[in-house]
Amino acid sequence: MDVVVIGAGAAGMMAAYAAASHQASVKLLEKNNKTGVKILMSGGTRCNLTHHTDARGIAEAFGHAKRFLQPSLGAFPPQAVVDFFESAGIATKVESTGKVFPVSNRAVHVRDALHRYAVDSGVEIRTGCGVTRIRPDGKSWIVETEESAIVTDRVIVTTGGKSWPGCGTTGDAYAWMTELGHAIERTRPALVPLIGGDPWMNDLSGLVVDDSLVSVLPVSGKQKPLARRRGGLLFTHFGFSGPAAMDVSGVMTAADSMEDVRLIVDLIPECTEEELLAEINHRRGGGKSKMSSLLSMWLPNRLANGITAQLGQDVRMAELSKNLRKQLIDNLKRMTLPVIGTRGFEKAEVTAGGVRLDQVNPRTFESRLHQGLFIAGELLDVDGPIGGYNFQAAFSSGRAAGIAAAS
Ligand SMILES: Cc1cc2nc3c(=O)[nH]c(=O)nc-3n(C[C@H](O)[C@H](O)[C@H](O)COP(=O)(O)OP(=O)(O)OC[C@H]3O[C@@H](n4cnc5c(N)ncnc54)[C@H](O)[C@@H]3O)c2cc1C
């Protein structure tokens, strides 16, 4: 069986290796001059390669794609990914967040291991080889590159999404897929920093709230959160970043307009509103202490001072009126973070949307529209949270596609 894999990222290298180790003759085509460019820059160049959980834990994090991903994750779960890299000499470690990294903290080791696995199993890797189109030709496929056309029995498309286009991921395959009759769910940036903020927040640039609970609420209708995430929130010169803001960003970009959704933060999620009120009332009896010093118990000074300034003046706790008390609680437990946009695909860690899942077989990743066409990785309509989930899905789907394409 001749198999051509297009795109040497996480899914493509795994697919090529899996196909070649199941006796296929495999060519892996990559437009960049080296393989795995996104792997190299991932996780702050440390590569968070999976998450410390089981297949179900990964699938659950993928929302609408949960059931689709289950079979491939079940066949190649996080522990199998860890074993795969450990058998290539890449020891891994689990951090307190559950993120799995190479002990060396070097993404290049992960990329090199995948590259080596592929080469050792007989994959012919062609870098600097951009594919321009694919088309069926009877029972074969023609893969057109900038220089030539390759005829093959089967083709696996793993060109990723269109975020961080500087990595080579410019969304080329969406046009090929559309031409082949595949529906594409609207693509949008996810895991992306958000643009916005109030003028007073300009002074907070660089400030991190280690433990926050960020929620996305619809502006109209039921006030049930569309997404919630507890974690670090970073105030920046343009708006908001950090895991909590980034993780809910995909839900915001799913809205028709940013005006349809609100971003709310609970700055002290470890205390209930009642506990906060009790503490405030207790302090009111204390006389001289000021509101800013109370806030500094929970928040970084700059944020405590900013909130105090917002509320007018740094009154003594004994002078805290009922109205001010309410405003204070509102600011601490449900502060609105105004958002007008995102940093776009340029700065999005993943692309949400993509090839519609009901047109792809979740066990083999073969197109339900075309025999011999396999689609895996981020090109599909899958996007997971920060934490190694996205690489895990790319590895599992790529492997399943590779094995199926070789059979
Ligand atoms: C800055 C950053 C950090 C990240 N960190 C993490 C992390 O730590 N953990 C995690 O789980 N996820 C992380 N991600 C997300 C993760 O990198 C992706 O979800 C994952 O790489 C998707 O794998 P893929 O194989 O589908 O696509 P990619 O890895 O994007 O690979 C696609 C490949 O196809 C090639 N290609 C595209 N078009 C063509 C063409 N026409 N011809 C030939 N080749 C082509 C591209 O050059 C690219 O090499 C991060 C993403 C970014 C941008």
Q: Which atom of ligand 1 is nearest to the CA of 36?
A: 49
Amino acid 144: pLDDT: 98
Q: Which atom of ligand 1 is nearest to the CA of 398?
A: 25
Phi then psi for residue 42, to 5 deg, are: -70, 155
Quote the ligand 1 centre to 39 CA distance (angstroms): 7
Phi then psi for residue 162, to 5 deg, are: -130, 25
The finding on whether 38 has its CB within 6 A of some atom of ligand 1 is: yes
* End-to-end C-alpha distance for the chain, whole angstroms: 8
Quick one: which of 354, 344, 404 has its CA closest to 379?
A: 354
For the chain, where do the domains classified as CATH 3.50.50.60 start and end? Answer: 2-188+349-406
Amino acid 214: pLDDT: 98
Quick one: which of 80, 79, 126, 89 has its CA closest to 110?
A: 89
Closest residue CA from atom 38 of ligand 1: 159
DSSP string, 136-188: EETTEEEEEESS-EEEESEEEE----SSSGGGT---HHHHHHHHTT--EEEEE
At the topology level, CATH places domain 2-188+349-406 in FAD/NAD(P)-binding domain (3.50.50)
Contact between 309 and 336 under an 8 Å Cβ cutoff? The reply is no
Amino acid 132: pLDDT: 98
The finding on whether 160 has its CB within 6 A of some atom of ligand 1 is: yes
Q: Which residues contact 259 (CB under 8 A, 6 or more apart)?
A: 219
Q: Which atom of ligand 1 is nearest to the CA of 50?
A: 11
Average pLDDT, 10 consecutive residues per value, the chain (407 residues) = 98 98 98 98 98 98 97 98 97 97 98 98 98 97 96 98 97 98 98 97 96 96 90 97 98 96 97 91 76 90 94 85 91 97 98 98 98 98 98 98 98
The finding on whether 360 has its CB within 6 A of some atom of ligand 1 is: no
Contact between 102 and 109 under an 8 Å Cβ cutoff? The reply is yes
Quote the ligand 1 centre to 10 CA distance (angstroms): 7
**Which of 101, 108, 164, 169 has the most ligand 1 atoms within 8 A of CB, as the residue to mutate?**
169
The finding on whether 394 has its CB within 6 A of some atom of ligand 1 is: yes
Q: Which atom of ligand 1 is nearest to the CA of 35?
A: 49
